[in-house]
Structure 1
Amino acid sequence: MSQTTRAGLAAALLGLALGCLALGPGLGWGFVLLHDMVFVPDPEFSAWTFGLAGGAARVVPSDAVVTALAQVLPAELVQKLILLGIFVLGCTGAALLSPSASLGPRLVAGAFYVWNPYVAERLLIGQWALLLGYAGLPWVVRAVWSGRRRAVAVLPAAVGGFAAMTVTALTALPLALARRGWREVIVTAGVLVAFSLPWLAATALRPEGLAADPVGIEAFAARADTPFGAVGSLLSLGGIWNARAVPPGYETWVGAVARLLLVVAGVVAFLRSELPFRRGLAGAALVGLAVASVGVSEPGRVAYEQVVGWWGGFAVFRDAQQFIAPLTLVAALGLGALTERVAGRRAWVGAMALVPVAVLPTLAWGALGTLGAVAYPSSWSAARAVIERDPEPGDVLVLPFESYRRFPWNGDRPVLDPAQRFFAVGGRRVVTNDAVRVGDLVVGSEDPRARELEHVLGGPSPDLPGAGIRYVIVNAGTVEERARFDVWLRRAHVLVHDRDLRLYRVEGPVSH
């Protein structure tokens, strides 16, 4: 067995172990439903799956890939394999990118790359598709620098979609420029564009175009989740906008100082290393940090708002913390290089491999139980069966008209309403609200159909059949909201009714 093969196998096993440790109870049978992480049993292909309905085509092609895999394997198992695959792919890629002749430094680089604040926060906000692209980033660096197998290396990001490919492009293009100049940039850009065609085509086919609410720039800008402010948090590889996506106990001074010092040590060691791609990757990390930091200031937010006004696709820059991914890779490889210097002292090498876990211990066991696997209630399946058997046309409206839910059966974890995926059967469109509330800010809907329904629901007695609605699902809501819905639906037939969900079929001819 060659040294490279041995290192790859060891890193894959380490990544698998760290993935199991991080996911913990989330590996139980059922689904992990948290923030943007939404998987459903027996998913079906729909217009929404391909980005031809709803808001921006962010689920393209990731949802189509999951749906295809779920035709062969149980969807619960598909989710576990993807989440564990992120840890295995990322750890192996970083380990093989490290040039060390010793196994220890490679494993240190791999361990840090998959166990750090960036991975923790993106996992807890449920952005598995972005993390899939992140896991493939070391492979992209390797492919671009060698000039071989770019297409294979880009595949994880291509599956991840819009944000994952944008982060990958930000990393790959400076590397290509540093390697062979503009010719390599053109070739690399060609590969990136080719693998971006699924969501580019879906965006181009939208008759209403692509719009984004500039409010999202302020709502999703990097935030301070350490005592060092927003920029200090970004340098610590944190800074996510959602306070609920931060590991428990993350804000303590001791942990924050340790994580910042670890990143700084890794960056310094990387800059002092002899890695051939040092300048290119350092340039990508600097650009990524700059992109993430722009939204921290008022002038920066104004600039981003203007750019988003030109084209809605630039809204990918509003959640700019995601662009510190190349900085994370720089720190990981630097820590591997630092370990190389003490490789003669095996005790120190072993200790270095444990440092990433030691400075972020609360990622373990599903972030101390934040992640968990649950089953959908039987009433959800019963409602889907009713809708699937009905040959009559008409959309499905989900109430309350809010994008995120806290279900008792999901441990009251916040999650993007799964109804849009769960009830998309028989070609029927499921209409939910995609507006997002962040504190006192509301980022407006990108879906013209949702905006249309919002106006309809603003009246005292909405004409749902006239708005093309045949079924209404009520799966949450306060006592006051449910009472209002009862008035709206007093003439509708109740087909499924329990504490978790009510399904109504509204009366009257449905407009097409």
Structure 2
Amino acid sequence: MNERARHLVAALTGLGLGLAALGPGLAPGFVLSYDMVFVPGPSFTDLTFGLTGVVPRHVPSDAFVTALAAVIPADVVQKLVLLAVFVMACTSAASLVPSRRLLPRLAAGVCYAWNPFVAERLLLGQWALLLGYAALPWVVSAAARTEEPGGGRRLVRVLLPAAVGGFAALTVTGITALTVALVTARARAALRVAAVVVVLSLPWLVPGALRPAGLPGDGAAVDLFAARADTPFGTLGSLLLLGGVWNGETVPSGYGMPVTATLWLLVVVVALAAYGKWCREPVWWRGAAVAAVLGFVIAALGAVAAPVLEGLIGLWPGFAVLRDGQQYAAPLAVVVAVGLGVAADRAAEARWPGVAAAAMAVPVFLLPTLAWGAAGELRAVRYPDDWARARQIIDRDPERGDVLVLPWASYRSYPWNHGRRVLDPLPRYLERHVVVDDAVTVDGTTVPQEDPRAARLAPVAKTGTRPAATLRDEGIRYVVVDAETASVAPSGAATEVLRGPDLVVYRIDGARDVAGRHVPVAPVAAAWGIVSLVVFWSILASGTTLSLPLLGSITPRSPHHRRRTP
């Protein structure tokens, strides 16, 4: 079997894993879970590009989805993106195993695509982070070879999934790539990697830096988002097993039981031992190991040394990106997956093909509740008709004014979404600027609003009676209320324009034109232009496309290859 055929089999295996994992989520409609918010017929707005002054965590992933949704139904776009995560994860990890045998490669691919990290981040709705995670093995290989001919262009291409994912995906991927380049190559290669990462970060970096309110950084929130134990082995043991997400509601059903957790710990230990003993030929192996250790330290920082991270955030708010520790276990997942593949390859050499096959099946066997939409948690739903009617009324209104959403909460548990929590979709659903509560409450502790407009309106929005005159003076034209909590309607001169089983909409006439503090358009447009030129250069300069076979072409050399000494 040639190399292209191996990549194809790995991609098809990843597709099978994706179909099994998503299950009911592949039905018509949208999967809405925590941060995973897709809406029908999205439009390009100021929010899409981070121009409204909110923290641009959704840039450029929202723009990517909106562009695809212009030619493909938005619910189909979501399914293709989620399936692509599994296809890329399986294919990229399989490509790193320094073996010509198929089963060991598939063992690595399955392990990387089907593990607690993927399950917990999928339930948390962080599809954008998982895009970067899926391509991370390709990045590891490319970062170690940036000084080879075409290395810079190749690095840009393999970083594109993380670039689409945005700030969290590119931060995790950038730290990994920079570490690999520093350990494997020379300082010049590391500088090249850093330059590429910075350029691809411009769409979210520029609006974030020019945000009128500055960078948010609440050091008190470190404990809230620190890794937590979801196995009997404590926080550090859970991170070693690629779990440890901060949100206990996104742990897969049945995960962390003593028997299965112990077996999974055994698999991880064997994989790490195999990686350390036998994965010595590829040029990137040492850099990947250091990146895994560094990632594990960052992942554990909030749990074991919270004052250190709080101090860093106090020095510079940008360090707040390190609060959600578990996401930095991603490079460790690369090492575990490749180590399992190497162990399976050694078993195949010893004429134990059954062991290699078992290595491919064991991740699925030990985490069966990722299947069928995480045991039914991820189901496709349709937005109610009230939402379409509300959009028609609000977006077609020629009068100026913004939208306020009540009750005042950032996450919703709609009956039509089976009660599953999801970040309020209205800011993406409507073309007008929507003011929502962006404070996050975890275990009774609240991280304050980051949007200055939301912070200013919070005292009024939280009250039992919301005077329409006050909202009008704050530039609010419409108030949208969840129907089951219609008692929080504004008081005074507010006209009810829609009442349905799911939404109630009020119009307030004469809304003032409140001058907001927005991000300037020109620097953001320039950032997008620079990134577009770099991406086109990476593709056109080499006369290639962004197909999976291309990405697979960065597979490490044969284990029998020896680098020439200068």
Q: TM-score under structure 2 normalisation?
A: 0.87
Please give the alpha-carbon distance, in whole angstroms, between the structure 1 residues aligned to 2:139 and 2:328.
15
* Alignment partner of 1:43 is 2:42: yes
User: Aligned AA for 1:291?
Assistant: I
Corresponding residue of 2:517: none
SS at match of 2:266: helix
Please give the alpha-carbon distance, in whole angstroms, between the structure 2 residues aligned to 1:435 and 1:54.
15
SS at match of 2:36: coil
Alignment of 1:50-449 (within 5 A): 50-147=49-146, 148=151, 149-273=154-278, 274-276=280-282, 277-297=284-304, 300-343=305-348, 344-423=351-430, 425=431, 428-449=432-453
SS at match of 2:217: coil
Q: Which moved more, 1:308-317 or 1:20-29?
A: 308-317
Change in Cα spacing, 1:509 to 1:374, as seen in structure 2 (3 Å) is closer
1:345 Cα offset (Å): 2.4
Deviation by residue 1:51-87 (Cα, 9 ceiling, x = unmatched): 1225311101000110111111100010000000000
Select 1:499's aligned residue among 498, 501, 506: 501
SS at match of 1:84: helix
SS at match of 1:472: strand
Deviation by residue 1:267-324 (Cα, 9 ceiling, x = unmatched): 1111112242221111000000000111112xx2122122223333221111011000
SS at match of 1:251: coil
1:251 Cα offset (Å): 2.6
- On the 8 A contact 1:215/1:441 being kept in 2, the answer is no
4+ residue segments displaced more than 4 Å? 458-461
Change in Cα spacing, 1:234 to 1:195, as seen in structure 2 (3 Å) is same
Deviation by residue 1:380-401 (Cα, 9 ceiling, x = unmatched): 0000000111010000000011
Deviation by residue 1:351-400 (Cα, 9 ceiling, x = unmatched): 22111100111111111100000000000000000011101000000001
SS at match of 1:349: helix
Structure 1 residue runs of 5 or longer lacking an equivalent are none
1:490 Cα offset (Å): 4.7
1:405 Cα offset (Å): 0.5
Structure 2 residue runs of 5 or longer lacking an equivalent are 515-566
- On the 8 A contact 2:483/2:501 being kept in 1, the answer is no
User: Aligned AA for 1:244?
Assistant: E
- On the 8 A contact 2:184/2:286 being kept in 1, the answer is no
Aligned residues: 501
User: Aligned AA for 1:340?
Assistant: D
User: Aligned AA for 1:378?
Assistant: D
Corresponding residue of 2:531: none
Change in Cα spacing, 1:34 to 1:509, as seen in structure 2 (3 Å) is closer
Q: Which moved more, 1:463-472 or 1:264-273?
A: 264-273
1:144 Cα offset (Å): 1.4
Deviation by residue 1:139-178 (Cα, 9 ceiling, x = unmatched): 1012112222101010000000101011111211111012
Q: TM-score under structure 1 normalisation?
A: 0.96
- On the 8 A contact 2:400/2:511 being kept in 1, the answer is no
Deviation by residue 1:161-207 (Cα, 9 ceiling, x = unmatched): 10101111121111101222211111111111111111111112212
SS at match of 2:131: helix
SS at match of 1:398: strand
SS at match of 2:47: coil
Change in Cα spacing, 1:448 to 1:476, as seen in structure 2 (3 Å) is farther
Please give the alpha-carbon distance, in whole angstroms, between the structure 1 residues aligned to 2:501 and 2:225.
34
Select 1:455's aligned residue among 454, 459, 462: 459
- On the 8 A contact 1:489/1:504 being kept in 2, the answer is no
User: Aligned AA for 1:10?
Assistant: V
Deviation by residue 1:408-446 (Cα, 9 ceiling, x = unmatched): 0001001011111112x1xx2111111011111111111
- On the 8 A contact 1:407/1:476 being kept in 2, the answer is no
User: Aligned AA for 1:507?
Assistant: D
Select 1:472's aligned residue among 474, 479, 492: 479
SS at match of 1:464: helix
Please give the alpha-carbon distance, in whole angstroms, between the structure 2 residues aligned to 1:24 and 1:432.
32
1:499 Cα offset (Å): 2.0
User: Aligned AA for 1:410?
Assistant: N
1:254 Cα offset (Å): 0.8
Q: Which moved more, 1:362-371 or 1:449-458?
A: 449-458
Change in Cα spacing, 1:477 to 1:228, as seen in structure 2 (3 Å) is farther
- On the 8 A contact 1:212/1:446 being kept in 2, the answer is no
Change in Cα spacing, 1:21 to 1:15, as seen in structure 2 (3 Å) is same
Please give the alpha-carbon distance, in whole angstroms, between the structure 1 residues aligned to 2:311 and 2:505.
43
